[in-house]
Structure 1
Amino acid sequence: MKVLYAFLVGINEYRAVTDLSGCVRDVETAEAHLRSTLAPGVRMESLILRDGQATRDAVIAAFRSHLGRAGRDDVALFWFSGHGSDAEAPDWVAGLESAGRVQTLVCADSRCDGVPDLWDKELALLIDELTARHITVVLDSCHSAGASRIVLKHTPEARIRTPPHSAQTRSPESFLPGTIERAADVPPMRHVEMAACEAHETAQELILDGEWRGVFTWALLGARKLLGNTATYYELLQAARGRLAVRHAYQESSARSAIPEQLDQPFLGGTVVAPDSGIWMRYTHDEWAIDAGTVHGLPIGGGLRVGVHDAAGQEAEIVEVRATDSLVEPAGGWEPDRDRQFPVVTTSVPLPRTTVAVAGVDPAEVADLSAAIGRSPHLRVAAPGEPVQVRVTLAADGNLVITDRHAERYAEWAHEGVDRVITALEHIARWLLIWELENPAPGIVSPVRIEIVDPLTDQPLVPNGLGEHVLAYTPDLRDWRPPSIRVRLRNTGAVPLFCVLLDLTPRFAADPMLFPGDYIGPGVTVYSRDRRRIGVQLPGDIPVEPGAWARDRLKLFAAEQRFSVLPFRLPVLGRRIPVRRKGLGTQDLLDRLGGRVHRDLVDAELGMAYDWTTSEAVIKVVVP
């Protein structure tokens, strides 16, 4: 029997550097996810070191004793979630590090009483000692393509969690025996490495699904749930990058191997498969429960409901989300038969209000705007230290500036009162809700994929490390010529799905013109706009000049039944939102979820429960 040996390290509490929040949860969720998706005939032997258990000596010893048990036909996995750093490269690695620095993992006792970090060269030595032919390393830490995490880079009220660079000078005797000799030989890389970011970057952790999580671990496990059993390392990386882009986590995650073809093999050599796509509700131990929990992506908090698949009026509210299952209570007077099991799908997901931070030179103006935000059903003022989605600055020159948390400018005008500000913020909040909306536990696996295609070669364009398809203007004789693309949708699943593709524009419109709604059959590929070329241009208010850029975000909704596209439509920011009308014979997906984009409208009549999923793509157009 093949064995998956998994060694996972999660460190929130450090002795000599700042603490983190989501690392232990990262590795616990990863371990539970892997255990629940083992392929038939595979056994899992796992070991987790948490916080103070993960000293440098303990990590080295456990790496050797636990992963060293893996035979040639077994699979070895090392998963690290915590601080990473870098250090000046010593003379004996001269010419091997292009930036002149080496990457390090910060153990629980690193930099305390002379204990050094665990260097990447030492990790490579430990990997060389393993017998297993399939070895995977996952690093959710800064400088990890080669490992520290921060929370919300460029966000003043967030806690910055990057430790300083290691200034400690290490003697040759302080390294694991054989480290220097191995570096001199430069043996080929034996393992597949999946890293949260590049060596010069920082990784983020955010509140995701109700708790602090490393965004890379969250994105990678989410991609595992969405893709089929044959998903390769490369396909998982692309899907994870897409999920990172949805959360505006601009870190360049990567996958590396000495032999590129290794990235085209199934994740962990096929020892894990796609999670079971069905969720069942059953009566057990005097209570109703469903076999889905945090490991399956259900968020912690109120507002979640499930409904019996292909049935009307039979719903249950989730009252407690646990690791591998959740307790539910039948709702609306439904009294299910305790001797039956019911297939269920997600019918309602919580859509939290958008968090806003307000700053300005006039305290009275700041107080007035903050009070108005608090009265909005779509917005709330961010608490101190809480992640912020939108910022509003009342400048000294009388202008009002709205930006995202990375200071990317959304809008600016002369401040004339709070009404216009609230209208704009609520519009942006609706746009963000559409972009970030996803099914926490979809039963649909191998979803419809968005492919951005070169119009000349008809070949898919490859996104960059940030998950963005970057397209450039080209100089013409007198002007700049915008790029063009084709967009196609590929249903990789086994059932027909009704699909709508939205263009979420830089000026906060949500337009379904690319694919306004139709069924796509299993295994079928269809082009948007009848295969016509689609020009990608800057908004009219951005001059076409070197350095200019803008992003379009494509959001695809796919469901088992037809739904109306009208609730998704949003005009350009500042224009009137049209009155929404029902489509004949359709159900509004957003209304069915119970968390509508237009919350001030009347609830739709509860219809039949059906499954749904989402996909995303980001297009960035630049003027070089």
Structure 2
Amino acid sequence: MKVLYALLVGINEYRAVGDLSGCVRDVETAEAHLRATLAPGTRMESLILRNGEATREAVIAAFRSHLGQAGPDDVALFWFSGHGSDAEAPDWAEGLEASGRVQTLVCADSRSDGVPDLWDKELALLIDELTAGHITVVLDSCHSAGASRDPFFPIRAVPRSAGSRPVESFLPGTIERAAAVPPMRHIELAACESGEAAEERPLDGAMQGVFSWALLRARKQLGSGATYYELMQAVRARLAIRQAYQESSARCAIPEQLDQPFLGGIVVVPESGIWMRYTHDEWAIDAGTVHGLPVGDGLRIGVHDETGQEAEIVEVRSTDSLVKPADGWEPDRERQFLVVTTSVPLPRTAVAVAGVDPAEVTELTAAIGRSPQLRVAAPGEIVDVLVTLAADGNLVITDRRAERYAEWAYEGSDRVARVVKALDHIARWLLIWGLENPAPRITSPVRIELVDAETDEPLAPGGLGEHVLSYTPGDRDWEPPWIRIRLHNTGPVPLFCVLLDLTPRFASSSWLFRGDIIEPGVTVYCRDRRRISVELPKDVPVQPGAYARDRLKLFAAEQWFSSRPYELPVLGRRLPVHNRKVLTALNLLDRLGGGLHHRDLVDAELGVAYDWTTTEAVIKTVVP
């Protein structure tokens, strides 16, 4: 029998550096996910080191004693969630690091009583000692120094280690191994590059590492056959949705290794869907946080048939959830019901206000708090949108990276109402971009493919999961890039699909693909195979260094739904009159779409409960 040996290290509490919040949850969730998705004929032997258990000596010992048990037919997994840092490369490592720095993992007792970090060169030595046939390393930590200065969210980084380490402090053989430069034996999935920050945020009701969360959710979304390469592309798309622009990466000695399934295929995603059963005097479903269900109120499931009977999820647990039949439904306790999610809680957008005039800040903050789309961010909380009342009388709306914005003079009797209206618009746009089914039975079988307009060759996304398209110099002016977009149904059932273009100016439109059935195995070109010109917004001058992002959001469902509730004009404009009416909500996506505008998820007639899923792609248009 093949065995998965997993060593998972999660450190929230440190002796000598600042604490974190989500690392223990990262590894506990990962362990539960792996155990719940083991392939038949596979056994799992896991060891979790939490907080003070994860000293440098304990991590090294567990690496050798636990992962060292894996043989040539087994799989070894090392998952680290905690602080990362870097240090100046010593003389014996010169020429091995282009930056002149080495990356380190900060153990629970690192930098206390003379205990050093665990250097990447030492980790490589430990990996070399393993005899497992397949080795994967997941690092959800930061590898940069100054990144800890970002004020908006917790960063998994600490200052660079001071001073140099004596040679005798390294694991025996580290220096010799570095000099020999042996080939890489493992596949490494890293949260970010060496000069970037790894974030942790409140996700699904609890603080988690954004990378760990995205990796596990992407596995559920893509299914069992997803390769390392496909998995990391999905991870990057999810990071972009959360505005976490950390360049997660996958590394190995031979690129072809990334074309194999995660952990060599010994973990699979169940394809059977969610079942509701009556056991131990309660109704429960066989889905929990490990399957992607968020912790919180507002989540419902419905019977996957023409009755559409619903139940409310009252407690989300690790591998199952407690449910309560809704609206007077009394299900037969002798039956089991195949169910799908029918109502997804829509979070309000967190907004912070800053300015030089306390009275104006207080007035605007109070108005934001009264909006059903918005909420005032708590002190120290991650901010979705920042409103700044500048000293010159202007108002500026940005996200935390200032990529998307609106700016105008903050004056007039209706100034507060205009700001809240703009923020409501932005909130709806963000909800559409982030909307997803937390536990779909169909696992995103429809792919968004961008191809060269002339050759029809696929365009691969870059490091951040974005398709970077460049203007080219023309005879008189810059020429925009031209592409075609196609949708490919890789699944076994026909699906009704809509592709939205979410533009840099907060518009949302289904003009690319307004909705149609795509049969299994069929590839459909958007816009009847016509070429699509990808241009900068009209208010962005086409000059070197200019750029903008379009987000493509695909909805795929088992039945027809209306795309009209998802239509949004450019910020500050109105939709044409014939598009402003929201259709009567008759099914799941209409219900969610109507909620985006009205937050009215109660009076809709659901009808048949059916399954749905989403996928995303990002286009970054640049002028070189």
Task: Compute the TM-score of the two structures, normalised by the length of structure 2.
Answer: 0.96
1:149-192 Cα distance to aligned partner (Å, 9 max, x none): 978x84x3544552101113111111001000101111100001
Q: Give per-residue Cα distances to partners, 1:571-601, cap 9 Å, x unaligned.
A: 1111124564466996461415884443269
1:458-497 deviations in whole A, cap 9, x for unaligned?
1221111111111111111221111111111111111111
Question: Counterpart of 1:21?
Answer: 21
Distance apart, 1:604 and its partner CA: 2.5
Name the residue aligned to 2:112.
Answer: 112
**When the two structures are aligned, how many residues end up with a matched partner?**
619
Distance 1:333-1:592 versus aligned 2 partners, 3 A rule: farther
| Partner AA of 2:55 in structure 1 | T
Instruction: Give SS of 1:589's match.
Output: helix
Query: Structure 2 unaligned runs (5+)?
Result: none
Corresponding residue for residue 80 of structure 2: 80
* In structure 2, C-alpha distance between the alignment counterparts of 1:128 and 1:137, rounded to whole Å: 13
**Match 1:517 to one of 491, 515, 518:** 515
Aligned residue among 471, 491, 507 for 1:473: 471
Deviation (angstroms), 1:295: 0.4
Q: What secondary structure does 1:434 align onto? A: helix
Q: Answer yes or no: is the 8 Å Cα contact 1:591–1:603 preserved in 2.
A: no
Contact kept? 1:84, 1:149, Cα under 8 Å: no
Distance 1:245 1:258, change over 3 A: same
Question: What is the distance in 1 between the residues matched to 2:225 and 2:602?
Answer: 43
Asked if the contact 1:84/1:103 (under 8 Å) is kept, the reply is yes
Matches within 5 A, 1:347-358: 347-358=342-353
Partner of 1:53: 53
Residue of structure 1 equivalent to 2:307: 312
1:613 is matched by which residue type in structure 2?
T
Q: Quote the residue 1:445 is aligned against.
A: 443
- Please say if residues 204 and 215 of structure 1, whose CA atoms lie closer than 8 Å, have aligned partners that are also in contact: yes
Matching residue's letter, 1:39: A
* In 2: Cα distance, 1:333 partner to 1:586 partner: 21
Distance 1:294 1:412 in 2: 40
Q: Are residue 345 (structure 1) and residue 340 (structure 2) matched?
A: yes
Counterpart in the other structure of 1:89: 89
Alpha-carbon separation, structure 2, partners of 1:470 and 1:262: 25
CA contact 1:196–1:254 (8 Å) conserved in 2: yes
Tell me whether 327-336 or 161-170 shows the greater mean CA deviation: 161-170
Q: State the match for 2:43 in structure 1.
A: 43
Correspondent of 1:165 among 160, 173, 184: 160
Q: Which amino acid aligns with 1:95?
A: G
**Cα offsets for 1:307-346 (capped at 9, x unmatched):** 0002334100000010000000000000000111100000
Aligned residue in 2 for 1:419:
417
2:191 matches 1:193: no
SS at match of 1:295: helix
- Trace 1:205-220 onto structure 2 (pairs within 5 A): 205-220=200-215
Q: Which residue of 1 aligns with 2:559?
A: 561
* Structure 1 counterpart SS, 2:64: helix
Take 2:481 and 2:441, find their aligned partners in 1: how far apart are those partners?
37
**Equivalent in 224, 240, 262 of residue 257 of structure 2:** 262
Measure how far apart 1:206 and its partner are. 1.2
State whether residues 288 and 327 of structure 1, in contact with CA within 8 Å, keep that contact through their aligned partners in structure 2. Answer: yes
What SS does structure 2 have at the residue aligned with 1:142? coil
Preserved contact between residue 71 and residue 131 of structure 2 (Cα < 8 Å): yes
Q: Distance in 1 between matches of 2:106 and 2:200?
A: 17
User: Partners of 1:588 and 1:161 in 2: how far apart?
Assistant: 38
Compute the TM-score of the two structures, normalised by the length of structure 1. 0.96
Structure 2 distance, partners of 1:185, 1:161, is 31
What is the CA–CA distance in structure 1 between the aligned matches of 2:338 and 2:224, rounded to whole Å?
22
AA at the equivalent of 1:169: S
Residue 344 of structure 2 aligns with an amino acid whose one-letter code is V
Q: Could you tell me which residue of structure 2 aligns to residue 226 of structure 1? A: 221
Contact 2:586–2:604 (Cα < 8 Å) also in 1: no
Secondary structure in structure 1 of the residue aligned to 2:240? helix
- 1:525 and 1:187 map into 2 onto residues whose CA distance is 44
Shift of the alpha carbon at 1:216?
A: 0.8
Number of the residue aligned with 1:526: 524
Q: 1:364 to 1:195 in 2, by over 3 A?
A: same
Match of 2:403 among 397, 408, 419: 408
Any idea what the Cα deviations from partners look like across 1:48-104, whole Å, max 9, x if unmatched?
Answer: 000000000000000000000001110111111111111000011111100001111
Q: 1:492 to 1:499 in 2, by over 3 A?
A: same
What is the CA RMSD across the aligned residues, in angstroms? 1.8
Check if 1:122 corresponds to 2:117.
Answer: no
Q: Distance in 1 between matches of 2:526 and 2:386?
A: 35
Post-superposition offset of 1:408: 2.2
Which residue of the partner structure matches residue 65 of structure 2? 65
Asked whether the 8 Å contact 1:142–1:197 carries over to 2, the reply is: yes
Residues 11 and 54, structure 2, Cα contact 8 Å, conserved in 1:
yes
Q: Distance in 1 between matches of 2:406 and 2:582?
A: 31
Preserved contact between residue 159 and residue 385 of structure 1 (Cα < 8 Å): no
Q: Is the 8 A contact 2:351 2:374 kept in 1?
A: yes
Given that 1:347 and 1:594 are in contact with CA atoms closer than 8 Å, whether structure 2 keeps it comes out as no
Q: How many Å separate the matches in 2 of 1:157 and 1:476?
A: 42
The 1:72–1:602 alpha-carbon spacing in structure 2 relative to 1, beyond 3 Å, is closer
- Pair 1:6–1:302, CA change in 2 (3 A): same
CA contact (8 A) 1:150 1:159 kept: no
For residue 130 of structure 2, what is the amino acid of its counterpart? L
Amino acid at match of 2:552: L
Name the counterpart of 2:538: 540
Alignment partners' CA distance in 1, 2:319 and 2:271: 12
Would you say 1:273 and 2:271 are equivalent positions?
A: no
CA distance in 1, matches of 2:613, 2:444: 10
What is the distance in 2 between the residues matched to 1:461 and 1:157?
34
273-282 vs 356-365, which deviates more?
273-282
Q: Which residue number corresponds to residue 574 of structure 2? A: 576
Structure 1 runs of 4+ off > 6 angstroms? Answer: 147-151
How many angstroms apart in 2 are the aligned matches of 1:502 and 1:19? 41
Amino acid at match of 1:57: E
CA contact (8 A) 1:8 1:80 kept: yes
Secondary structure at the aligned position of 1:164 is classed as coil
Match of 2:318 among 302, 323, 337: 323
Corresponding residue of 2:459: 461
2:547 corresponds in structure 1 to 549
Identity %: 78
1:603 positional shift = 3.7
- 2:159 partner SS: coil
1:293 aligns with 288
Match of 1:237?
Answer: 232
- Contact 2:373 2:427 (8 Å CA) reproduced: yes
C-alpha distance in 1 between matches for 2:537 and 2:285:
47
Q: 1:497 aligns with which of 495, 511, 515?
A: 495
Residue by residue, what CA displacement relative to the aligned partner does 1:233-262 show, whole Å, maximum 9, x if unpaired? 111111111111111110111111111111
Task: Name the SS of the counterpart of 1:547 in structure 2.
Answer: coil
Contact 1:510/1:568, CA 8 A, preserved across alignment:
yes
The answer on whether the counterparts of 2:155 and 2:200 sit within 8 Å (CA) in structure 1 is: no
Distance 1:238 1:597 in 2: 31
Tell me which residue corresponds to 1:332: 327
Tell me what 1:99 maps to.
99
Write out per-residue CA displacement over residues 184-211 of structure 1, whole angstroms, 9 at most, x where no aligned residue: 1111000011111111111111111111
* TM-aligned CA distance change 1:211 to 1:150, over 3 Å: farther
Secondary structure of 2:431's counterpart equals helix
Whether the 8 Å contact between 2:585 and 2:594 is mirrored in structure 1 is no
1:552 corresponds to which letter in structure 2? D
- Aligned partner letter, 1:499: C
- Residue identity opposite 1:445 in structure 2: T
CA distance in 1, matches of 2:591, 2:409: 36
Structure 2 Cα separation of the partners of residues 592 and 622 of structure 1: 34
Letter in 1 for 2:405: Y
